[in-house]
Structure 1
C-alpha cells in the first residue's frame, strides 16, 4: 500500500475512534435506555462529549476532501516525495487537531494551526496532480 493510501486508512481509523468516543459521550449524557431507544430526543453531551462530536464532524469533512484528492492522484500513479510528505503532514496534523480539540487545549492556537497544517498537506498532494 502506498504511503498516501496508508495515511488515508489511518485517517479512517482516527475517524472510527472519534465516532466511538462521541457515541459513548452521548450514552453517558443521555443514559443506556436512550442508546437502545429510537433517539427521538437529540443527545446533549457537554464538555469533552460536545467537543468530541465537533471533532469527529470536522475530521469527517477533512477526510472526505483528503480522500477526494488522494484517491484519484493515487489511481493516476502519482506518488513522490511531495505527495508522501503531504499525506503524512495531513495525518499528523489531524491527530494533533483531534487531541487539542477533545482535550480543550487552546494554548497558542494549537488546534487552528493543526487544522491549517492538515489543509496544507492536502494542497501539497493536489499540486502534484495539476
Structure 2
C-alpha cells in the first residue's frame, strides 16, 4: 500500500474514533434513551461545550476527508506518488489528529494552524499530481 493510501486509511480510522468518542460522551451526558428514538424532538438538554466541540471537530474532519481522499486517489491512479506527496499525506494525518484536542481544549490559534496545514497538504498533493503527470505518459 502506498504511503498516501495508508494515511487515507488511518484518516478513516481517525474519523471512526472521533464518532465513537463523541457518541459515547453524548450518551453519558444525555442518556441513551433519546438516542434510541428517531430524534424527531429536540434534545432534552444541551450537550456540554466539550461534546459540542467534539461534534464540530468530527464534522470538520468529515468535510476535510473528501478533498484529501480525492487527492490520494488522483495521486495513486495517476502514479504520481513522490516523497512530497507521501510527506503531504502524513502531514494531513498528523494535522487532523492534532486538530481534535486543539478544538476540544480551545487551543488558539493552534486549531486554525492544524486546519490550515491539513488543507495545504491536500492542495499540494493535487498540484504535485497535476504537475507530475505529463499527458504523454
Q: Normalization by structure 1: what TM-score?
A: 0.91
RMSD of aligned Cα (Å): 1.3
Q: Which range is displaced more, 87-96 or 67-76?
A: 67-76
- Deviation at residue 81 of structure 1 after TM alignment: 0.7
Matched, 1:28 2:31: no
- Deviation at residue 42 of structure 1 after TM alignment: 4.1
Select the structure of larger CA radius of gyration. 2
Among 84, 87, 96, which residue is 1:85 paired with? 87
Q: Normalization by structure 2: what TM-score?
A: 0.87
Q: Name the CA distance, whole Å, in 2 between partners of 1:35 and 1:28.
A: 11
Match of 1:126 in 2: 126
Contact 1:4 1:70 in 2 (8 A): yes
Gaps of 5+ in 1: none
Q: Which range is displaced more, 26-35 or 112-121?
A: 26-35
Q: Name the CA distance, whole Å, in 2 between partners of 1:42 and 1:57.
A: 20
Q: How does 1:1-130 map to 2 (within 5 A)?
A: 1-43=1-43, 44-106=46-108, 109-130=109-130
1:71-117 residue CA offsets vs partner (Å, 9 max, x unmatched): 122111111011001101101111111121123323xx011111101
Count of residue correspondences = 128
Q: Name the CA distance, whole Å, in 2 between partners of 1:42 and 1:50.
A: 15
Gaps of 5+ in 2: 131-137
The structure with the greater share of residues assigned to helix is 1
